[in-house]
Structure 1
């Protein structure tokens, strides 16, 4: 007798089909085209352009600032831009499975309205007028599902607590983006629970890395990273509680910004265990360009989000802070910057491509006339232990509550970590909070002590995002390089540096692992498998230093570009 398919699987399968059905018939790929894509190692660059008209390929090749300027100058229309990115996103999803929600018709109606407004008034609605922006599937859009990777959430939009509100709720940042003129058109894939450095769930399966499909796109904002790597978007919104913006940015060869949590509104955004606010998840941004990140931050802050969300601090965009550091990039007029470089957290060492990337950046900065010192902060394993304890404090009860809505199981990657347990005792939780504050203070004291040698404090820190490039699925053993910065709520920008090269990044047989985890990570390195994987690094500032780290990132990227040309 044939086994009956569980109801949750039927619901997930129906959802997958409903998303594909929203793609225009003329944009759907043939079985032969899908089969050809499935056997390709790399999907980026010229390959995806084969499915587009020349004008469409030209439009999606532009970055965010060029797009909004082209629309503002009347050289591009919102409709042509929206159509190009909707089609690119449709192709991207078919060949790399990265979207949870498609609402292209809604986007095109919006683009028509924006073009009519421009024709009537001769001006734009705001700084994002006509710019297609993608959203991680935590952000609510009216009339569109938010599943956050849970089968039990299918058919709802924050309507689980109050079914009458399904599809009526809008996240504050969604409202802000629309007020700025943005065109919203799709929501991107993420892992079940959000708490995984890869992107897998029981609804759509797995999203792989379009630069090298042997590897993961990262997580939890993994669909955002994959979509942008294929130019299906130039600017998107994600979230980060342990690296969820930074990991996909680094793994996919794009840029990412993790602000301090209270800088951008999280109001009415779906989340895992939303009551855990001691160390908050933060809304962040991913972009194909550094200027795109700056455009987004400046635009969103121009709406004064703190007036509608009391959790947001009233800090407008501080152009003077950005200008101060940008002027430091010109050593004829400014004082050299001082950088710390973290070469290892002394728990899990770095694969050859990451170590080479760090050396490239350190050498470029030093050649550019800036100072470089080794960064040896308080033991990061202490921060990792504290951060992970907060993640697990509720014993997995919130996760299992969501799973029970449909009866779906945890995906295999998460079964051991999130087996249901009693929640942490309140007194233990309070003590853990004190440990976190103590670690923050120690880290701050260390940062301040970097002025002891020469009277100049370190301006920013360069460190890995992970001990490896875009990881082999199932072999992400150590997320501490990102998680430590969530514990301190620091401001971080991720920049792409290089790509793994099997001819240069050879396996070092003499390496002695530091421990069992390091051994697992080291044995997972295969130069052939990793070849072509993007290498991205973190540029770290302290709390509420978003403008500063964006400016410093420009200086670093300019130094790296010059060194590469020389």
Structure 2
């Protein structure tokens, strides 16, 4: 047994937190933080006094313009990295969103990039000088990736993950942030600190929302990029399996490859999402990760070559609900606003009929949980740390227990018993049949669109609610469905937020299920006040380019609608 293993797990955590605190520059520690009962802190960084006027300008600039200014030398990489590092530290003091903090290392890298541009007149790559934060899974040589496991404290990466190498080769400056775990505690939502930032890439969501990072990298097996993006009012892309390299990262449930986790970007702008995907593809990750798909960025697909070349109106299908849970009033308002905006922009919107969603939820849950309990037990055994309640209990136990540690669980739980390999194969076979049926269902919409094509994309809720109170994020079906089908999915902010005067509670409807009833009862307009409202755009497998392009269409329509509404006030 190692020396660390002889310590109580809480002592290991205490030492880790001391080491983490020591990495924060003392001159950046604020004494004028808002009181804890101040819930909405989204605007505090710019008035904190720590950022100069120029640093505020830099951190409020969208990725496309940031890259232009870095490439031209208008802003140095050191200036940009310093500005975002300061703002990240402010964000951390507000909502507890960082894990590993390595500012000196990031600034040294930025200085090298500045020198390269000065001496050669050329950028290192398309992301030259851009700070990118990474979820605590993406290994960077010499740093710890704990994923919140106490047992992984002290395990330092001996080399970069493939994605870290790919981003550095593109000129990015890597620096790091995570939602709730024994090591780092809980991350809060900057729009309302009584609400969750989402999981499990919630640190990225909160950090990017507070503009402490222009692009964050999250992971998504059931919604862990999209839920934090949705709850923090951001753009977030869930690519299809293996489009972004995963090799060299740490993960739970390793070896489960039927519905794998994927890496993808979270950003304040669609230009950030597009720049990330273009840059990763340009580095030929399939030559570095044997699982990565050999697919360079396809400009024709971005120009909507499979969707009328962008010369004809698009047809979107609106998934109002999944026939399992009816979304809360703010979510329904956002869907209505999106439909109206698209029709006003000249596009068509039809209704999407969900197909076999309950079967798909059960199928993918069985796959995820086939050996999850054993996986968690093995990983936590060396230190004896308790398994977080939401990882260990069934939904019924979770609701009834008052002693578990609250967390941000996805909509699935590890089963108490595993299953034989043969039984799991039958589950995989059923999933293939379900995917085939869903493809056929999509293709059949050609008879409804009038474009000569099936629907171009689906628009759906990201969750049945906006960001809920801590510990109550218990349904990931609206995101997990697309993981099961391996459809590319993009979160788009609507510009709306929960307004108790508008988003009043509706009378009780005829409930689909007990889950539907419990989620209906969860809603109180004042509780959800100021939470951002987003929608989700879904394309087919490996349609990242087209989904980004159609996302730009939806985004533009929403912004034009908001502008028109403001003009009429």
TM range (shorter): over 0.9
Q: CA deviation at 1:58?
A: 1.2
Q: 2:457 aligns with which of 455, 460, 467?
A: 460
Contact 1:477 1:521 survives alignment (8 Å):
no
Name the structure 1 match of 2:172.
182
CA 1:37–1:183: 2 relative to 1, 3 Å: farther
Residue aligned with 2:304, SS: helix
Task: Compute the TM-score of the two structures, normalised by the length of structure 1.
Answer: 0.92
- Pairing of 1:319-398 with structure 2 (within 5 A): 319-324=299-304, 334-398=311-375
Q: CA deviation at 1:98?
A: 0.6
Contact 1:326 1:552 survives alignment (8 Å):
no
Q: CA deviation at 1:543?
A: 0.5
Residue aligned with 1:262, SS: coil
Q: Distance in 2 between matches of 1:366 and 1:80?
A: 43
Name the structure 2 match of 1:83.
82
Q: Does 1:471 align with 2:471?
A: no
Name the structure 1 match of 2:3.
none
Q: 1:436 aligns with which of 413, 431, 437?
A: 431
Q: Distance in 1 between matches of 2:324 and 2:477?
A: 9
Q: Distance in 2 between matches of 1:465 and 1:292?
A: 20
Q: CA deviation at 1:112?
A: 0.9
Q: 1:495 aligns with which of 492, 506, 517?
A: 492
Name the structure 2 match of 1:54.
53
Name the structure 2 match of 1:403.
380
Name the structure 2 match of 1:160.
none
Q: Distance in 1 between matches of 2:306 and 2:552?
A: 8
Contact 2:166 2:283 survives alignment (8 Å):
yes
Residue aligned with 2:10, SS: helix
Q: 2:184 aligns with which of 188, 204, 216?
A: 204
Q: Distance in 2 between matches of 1:312 and 1:395?
A: 25
Contact 1:475 1:521 survives alignment (8 Å):
no
Q: Does 1:304 align with 2:294?
A: no
Q: CA deviation at 1:91?
A: 1.3
Contact 2:323 2:354 survives alignment (8 Å):
no
Name the structure 2 match of 1:161.
none
Q: CA deviation at 1:45?
A: 2.2
Q: 2:481 aligns with which of 466, 484, 488?
A: 484
Q: Distance in 2 between matches of 1:139 and 1:217?
A: 20
Q: CA deviation at 1:48?
A: 4.5
Residue aligned with 1:311, SS: coil
- Pairing of 1:61-460 with structure 2 (within 5 A): 61-157=60-156, 167-186=157-176, 188-189=177-178, 199-324=179-304, 334-417=311-394, 421-453=416-448, 454=450, 455-460=452-457
Contact 1:241 1:282 survives alignment (8 Å):
yes
Q: Distance in 2 between matches of 1:62 and 1:37?
A: 28
Q: CA deviation at 1:311?
A: 1.1
Q: Distance in 2 between matches of 1:67 and 1:328?
A: 32
CA 1:283–1:252: 2 relative to 1, 3 Å: same
Residue aligned with 2:289, SS: coil
Q: Distance in 1 between matches of 2:187 and 2:547?
A: 30
Q: Distance in 2 between matches of 1:180 and 1:503?
A: 47
Q: CA deviation at 1:169?
A: 2.2
Residue aligned with 2:78, SS: helix
Contact 2:446 2:453 survives alignment (8 Å):
yes
Contact 1:477 1:517 survives alignment (8 Å):
no
Q: CA deviation at 1:13?
A: 1.6
Contact 1:49 1:57 survives alignment (8 Å):
no
Q: Distance in 2 between matches of 1:43 and 1:219?
A: 20
User: Any idea what the Cα deviations from partners look like across 1:497-527, whole Å, max 9, x if unmatched?
Assistant: 1211111000112433222111111111010
Gaps of 5+ in 2: 1-5, 395-412, 565-569
User: Any idea what the Cα deviations from partners look like across 1:83-120, whole Å, max 9, x if unmatched?
Assistant: 11111111111221011100111001101111111111
Name the structure 2 match of 1:193.
none
Q: Distance in 1 between matches of 2:441 and 2:248?
A: 37
CA 1:369–1:509: 2 relative to 1, 3 Å: same
The number of residues matched between the two structures is: 537
Gaps of 5+ in 1: 158-166, 190-198
Q: CA deviation at 1:122?
A: 1.1
Residue aligned with 2:224, SS: coil
Residue aligned with 1:134, SS: strand
Residue aligned with 1:452, SS: helix
Residue aligned with 1:494, SS: strand
Contact 2:198 2:227 survives alignment (8 Å):
yes
Task: Compute the TM-score of the two structures, normalised by the length of structure 2.
Answer: 0.92
Q: Does 1:513 align with 2:508?
A: no
Q: CA deviation at 1:328?
A: 6.0
Q: Distance in 2 between matches of 1:312 and 1:329?
A: 28
User: Any idea what the Cα deviations from partners look like across 1:256-289, whole Å, max 9, x if unmatched?
Assistant: 0111012111111111111000111111110110
Q: Distance in 2 between matches of 1:47 and 1:139?
A: 27
Residue aligned with 2:212, SS: coil
Q: CA deviation at 1:389?
A: 0.8
Contact 1:134 1:224 survives alignment (8 Å):
yes
**How large is the RMSD of aligned CA atoms in angstroms?**
1.7
Q: Distance in 2 between matches of 1:90 and 1:408?
A: 28
